[in-house]
Amino acid sequence: FFSLLCPSFQIIVDDDDSKVWSLYDAGPRSIRCPLIFLPPVSGTADVFFQQILALTGWGYRVIALQYPVYWDHLEFCDGFRKLLDHLQLDKVHLFGASLGGFLAQKFAEYTHKSPRVQSLILCNAFSDTSIFNQTWTANSFWLMPAFMLKKIVLGNFASGPLDPEMADGIDFMVDRLESLGQSELASRLTLNCQNSYVEPHKIRDIPVTIMDVFDQSALSTEAKEEMYKLYPNARRAHLKTGGNFPYLCRSAEVNLYIQIHLLQFHGTRYAAIDPSMVSAEELEVQKISLHTSNEQDEQ
């Protein structure tokens, strides 16, 4: 149903024809600084369908991506820069989930001398791959059969009793995981676990929102604390629940936090929304209601 509403297309930007980016590009093409979504290890571009449908309905231009097979961060960053060049986008906002959040930070760092990233929304993201204690196996993922790789990924999915939305979200992600081939999964796990960390001084001036959940997710408390330390001025978007995939099972809250993050760029050349669609009063009311509900949660 979603692919009928919003067809995906494929782009090759490297000399290697096997490196294909799949993407959904929705909303007004006149917007030159859209919001780009980068999925987690198990995700495909369509895991953000709830964000695409809602945000484009409000006048935003959003692009959701699926990565080609890249085996190191530098190669990924170089390919992503070529993709932005191909799409004729100088500056973009990035929403990265888990591995997507790490890659978003690495790309901001990679382009810091000639900045391409206007802002970052980091959802359940991390800044140092060593938290997974897998750096020693990172070089052997390419040898493993697909079923073993899927087992490694599924090991991080929540188990036990879940509410219906979270259970549906996990089912959807399992389905997307099944659609990924051995090399896609092996390369993503390699990027996820290869020894690397973010150099914060290179991206200090970029506005950041850190979005995370208070319930069970693959991220340790230490990893979250590290992110807060790294970005002391970041806005924080906390969800009481949502697990690993809040954009699927808590989409209304996630979409609201995205709008609040992008609000600071309204009326500038970095706005991700069609100016004729902006209703400041409406967003102000939403901000107040979110603030009130957060205060109630904390009491």
Phi, psi of 188, deg, nearest 5: -70, -40
| pTM, rounded to two decimals | 0.91
Q: Residue 112 in contact with residue 79, Cβ under 8 Å?
A: no
Supply the pLDDT for residue 2: 55
12 has a pLDDT exceeding 80: yes
Please determine, for residue 185, whether its predicted confidence score (pLDDT) is greater than 90. yes
Interhelix angle 146-154/164-178, rounded to 10 degrees, is 160
* 232-286 pLDDT tens trace: 999 999 998 888 999 999 999 999 999 999 999 988 999 999 888 876 655 665 6
Beta-strand ranges (E) seen in the chain are 9-12, 20-26, 35-38, 62-66, 92-97, 117-123, 208-213, 235-239
Structure confidence by residue, pLDDT tens digits, 79-90: 999 999 999 999
Q: What is the pLDDT of residues 277-291, one digit of tens each?
A: 876 655 665 666 666
Contacts of 281 (CB under 8 A, 6+ apart): none
H/E element, 13 = none
How far, rounded to the nearest angstrom, does the alpha carbon of residue 238 sit from its chain's CA centroid? Answer: 16
- Order the strands of the 92-97 sheet from edge to edge: 9-12, 20-26, 62-66, 35-38, 92-97, 117-123, 208-213, 235-239
> Which domains can be identified in the chain, with CATH numbers?
1-298 (3.40.50.1820)
